[in-house]
């Protein structure tokens, strides 16, 4: 789970945390990272960092759930 307090938004804290996750994943030979978010949260943030929509579901309260992925290396 990743949540950035409003006082720290716009200061690249979230970007740095995601980059650290990606770095850890690469070091552990992972080929992709998947993030989950809701329509009222951070879909655009992840897309700016190179994540693509992998799937989604419409919720019963007007909100949508999204799964986004970013490939870290080509598959062999």
Domain segments of the chain: what residues?
Answer: 10-71
When pLDDT is averaged across residues 22-45 and rounded to a whole number, the result is 91
Rounded Cα gap, residues 75 and 1, in angstroms: 27
Q: What phi, psi does 54 have (nearest 5°)?
A: -105, -35
Mean confidence (pLDDT) of the chain: 89
Alpha carbon of residue 31 to chain centroid: 15
0.85 exceeded by the pTM? Answer: no
Strand pairing class (32-38; 64-71):
antiparallel
SS3 letters across 14-51: HHHHHHHHHHHHHHCCCCEEEEEEECCCCHHHHHHCCC
What is residue 34's predicted lDDT score, i.e. its pLDDT? 93
Fold of the domain spanning 10-71: Aminopeptidase (3.40.630)
């Amino acid at each position: 789970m990743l949540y950035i307090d409003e006082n720290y938004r716009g200061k690249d804290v979230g970007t740095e945390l995601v980059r650290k996750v990606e770095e850890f994943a690469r070091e552990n030979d992972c080929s992709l990272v998947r993030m989950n978010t809701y329509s009222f949260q951070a879909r655009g943030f992840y897309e700016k960092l190179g994540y693509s929509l992998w799937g989604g579901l419409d919720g019963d309260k007007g909100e949508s759930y999204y799964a986004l992925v970013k490939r870290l290396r080509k598959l062999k």
